[in-house]
Structure 1
């Protein structure tokens, strides 16, 4: 539940976690959601835009073949690439 008090200092432990940086590839999976019957993924494109993709969508010059709870498989030029969610 959110506090209604304003201007409270952020606890140091929360500030540390909230400001950690994560090294990501230019094109990376940043989220996967939905039910097992129909997962979708949020993917950051090389230009910084965010795309929502599902199986069968064209993306980054390839075709999204599969999405699981922690990865996306992209087929391009006869090869498949597994794109995994980054680990914290």
Structure 2
């Protein structure tokens, strides 16, 4: 038996084998689903990490959609930063 056993096997997943990779993945999924989101920078960074982990597990059209969403967010962030730089430069010149 492993040392990093989830307490979910004692409460929610009684009867499942804690050493089964599928059962462990399901326990981790339940932990992520019950996590309360934090409205702080650390919470947002953790949310981005969860999105990245989920996107890495995807295949096919869903992965393409996740990559497209990420690229669109990065392009929008670059556009906002460029506009802010132009505003600051033109204001101070």
Q: Where on the TM-score scale, by shorter chain, does this alignment land: which range?
A: under 0.3
Which structure has the higher relative contact order (CA within 8 Å, separation 6+)?
A: 1
Per the normalisation by structure 2, the TM-score is 0.21
Larger radius of gyration: 2
